[in-house]
Amino acid sequence: MIATIADLIKDTYQTFFRFVRFPCQTELARIGHPDRNSPILVTCNFDYTVRHLKKYLAAADIDCYLAVVNTNGTNVWCAAVEGVMNSSAVLSHLKVHKARDLVDHNRVILPQLCAAGVKLRDLKKQGWEPAYGPVYFKDLKTFLDNGFKRDKEMKALEYGYWERFKMAISHGVFCTMVCMPFVLSLYFSTWKQGLAAIWYFALAMQLLEHFVPIRRLLYKGIVFSLPLIVFSFWQLSNVGAWIKLSSLYFALGAYIGFDSQGHSHFGQTQKSSGRLIVALLFSAVLYGGSFLL
């Protein structure tokens, strides 16, 4: 009971602060009762992932060795994109923990989402027989029972509303920490107004962005600023005040849209730093010009 409550607290905390690294111990763990024919599975040392993966493996009665590679507490996909989870890290981990001495085969199962950093050919050169497993570990048992073969569904990455909502919570917390000092000091009269604007953009960028037919997330954030700009036009009779508020909405939309690249599966390949600078400079010019009216 206590362990369940502790895990629930950890899950909640790690959902709200997903942008923070949560490392756990690196190891080559024995799950169940592995023998010399049991598979070697590889994962990151992100605490949330390891806890839930171990629970699944135990519940599914999968006997295996679990190589928890050091990614500095970062999840598999982010660690691979950052270059932290790479071929060298995996090979080094297997060597240090003497994985070859535990089994009579050379098979090692990698998470599919590490493909950006861990290359099969690098492991093959060192005598291993690597394979990418399914995207979700709920499919691991079927994958293993089918002789390490994946069907189309096992390769598909889903980004449903529950996952989007959890990402929005983490993104909202991060943007609140970053943006609140600026929005309060520049215009917003109450902390509630500034907080509402930040969370509007954070939620919109995760739950609604796929409805906006524009590729770049930065531009999508700017699109989401337009309803606020229009709405504030009917609220404010002073043109200078409206331009000032509109410039801040524009800047918030641009920044939160840009920052959502790190919180979205779609945004991993985008690079918009230069465009963000232009958008913020444009907002600064509008903001400064509002004092002349």
**pLDDT of 194 over the 60 cut:** yes
Domain of 58, CATH number, reads 3.40.50.11600
Pair 142, 6 in one domain: yes
pLDDT mean over 18-24: 83
Pair 144, 266 in one domain: no
pLDDT at 166: 86
- Give the E-state strand segments of the chain in sequence order: 27-31, 40-44, 64-69, 107-110, 129-132
Pair 184, 150 in one domain: no
Residue finishing a domain among 121, 139, 155: 155
Pair 138, 7 in one domain: yes
- The residues near 140 (Cβ < 8 Å, ≥ 6 apart) are 41, 56, 57, 60, 62, 133, 134
| pTM for the whole structure | 0.77
Structural tokens at position 9: 């607290």
Residue finishing a domain among 155, 177, 208: 155
**Distance in angstroms (rounded) separating the CA atoms of residues 149 and 154:** 9
Quick: pLDDT tens for 99-109: 999 999 999 99
Pair 90, 105 in one domain: yes
Pair 165, 199 in one domain: yes
pLDDT at 263: 63
Query: Domain span at residue 218?
Result: 161-292
**pLDDT of 112 over the 60 cut:** yes
pLDDT mean over 235-261: 89
Evaluated on CA atoms 214, 218, 221, 225, the torsion sign reads: negative
Pair 143, 88 in one domain: yes
- Higher-scoring residue by pLDDT: 244, 267: 244
Residue finishing a domain among 129, 155, 181: 155
pLDDT at 161: 83
Structural tokens at position 6: 């502790």
| β 64-69/107-110 pair status | unpaired
Quick: pLDDT tens for 134-165: 988 889 999 999 888 888 888 877 778 888 88
Pair 57, 168 in one domain: no
